Structure 1
Amino acid sequence: MRGLHIFADFYHCPKGKYMVSAKALRQLCIRASEGAGLTVLGDHFYQFNGFDATQAGGATGALVLAESHLAVHTWPERDGATLDIYVCNVTGDNSDKAEALYAELVRVIRPGDIMVERVWRGKDVPVADEAPTIALP
């Protein structure tokens, strides 16, 4: 159950379809996840209205992955976006897939500045049939 959790804040993102279209953002997230070798099980994306007729609204969405999840939120009025990528696997290290997904989203969205944090989650635990038996009261 060990996995890599990547949190990223994107700043100074160019105006473009991925910042203002839930449909385009969904297609990007699915394509990038599958391209990284991850398995998409489901998704939900939502399109926000702009504050007024002069602004496009942002988008928010999430993919449920067999290996965990991806969540993306955009704020075109602030030229920003946030990402939450968590990729784990009970039998192996999928951190390279998390990094590939992150790199593709950076490449396509093209933020001018990024604040990113990587956190290793879980710990090495034995497989269920190798785990010691513990008597509970």
Structure 2
Amino acid sequence: MTNLHYLVDMYGCAREKLAYVEDARKALNLAVERGRITKIGESYKQFEPYGASGVILVAESHLSLHTWVDEGIVLADVFTCGSDVFPENAVRALIDYFEPERTVVRKVYRGRDGEKVEEEIQEVLYEKG
């Protein structure tokens, strides 16, 4: 079994997509769909005057995101276990949705898989321009 946790930091995002829960919901559900992940439930928080957080509980673990509108930042997690899901596709869906100028993705092996890896892998997956 593979336990992968992607930490997705997106900078310079399209701010009009960061302010409200509706966009957090759309982005996370798109990620679940593209990753072929099994959704169990979801919860969201709208901040005032703007900003949103959301989490989707999935059979394979969870997806979450938090927005900072003034900074144009979205921080997200895609944590899955098993070999029948495609977490990289879920990560790509989030990047496609929020249109960041720059994205840093950290791929962390968790549980028994974590013992196989000495350090976390960091890579810039996407840089606009």
Scaled by the length of structure 2, the TM-score of the pair is 0.80
Tell me, which stretches of 5 or more residues in structure 2 are unaligned? 114-129
Distance 1:28 1:48 in 2: 17
Count of residues in Structure 1 that have an aligned counterpart in Structure 2: 113
- 1:23–1:45: 8 Å Cα contact kept in structure 2? no
Higher strand proportion: 2
Matched, 1:44 2:43: yes
Correspondence for 1:26: 25
Equivalent residue letter for 2:71 = R
Distance 1:117 1:35 in 2: 19
Q: What do residues 87-134 of structure 1 show as CA deviations (whole Å, max 9, x unaligned)? A: 102xxx25x61100000110111110112210111226xxxxxxxxxx
Distance 2:51 2:42 in 1: 17
- Aligned positions of 1:14-93 closer than 5 A: 14-16=14-16, 18-50=17-49, 57-89=50-82, 93=83
Distance 1:116 1:31 in 2: 18
Larger radius of gyration: 1
Matched, 1:8 2:8: yes
Distance 1:13 1:108 in 2: 9
Equivalent residue letter for 1:64 = L
Correspondence for 2:86: 97
- 2:8–2:104: 8 Å Cα contact kept in structure 1? yes
Tell me, which stretches of 5 or more residues in structure 1 are unaligned? 51-56, 125-137
Distance 1:23 1:14 in 2: 14
Structure 1 residue 25 displacement after superposition: 1.4
**Segments ≥4 residues shifted beyond 2 Å:** none
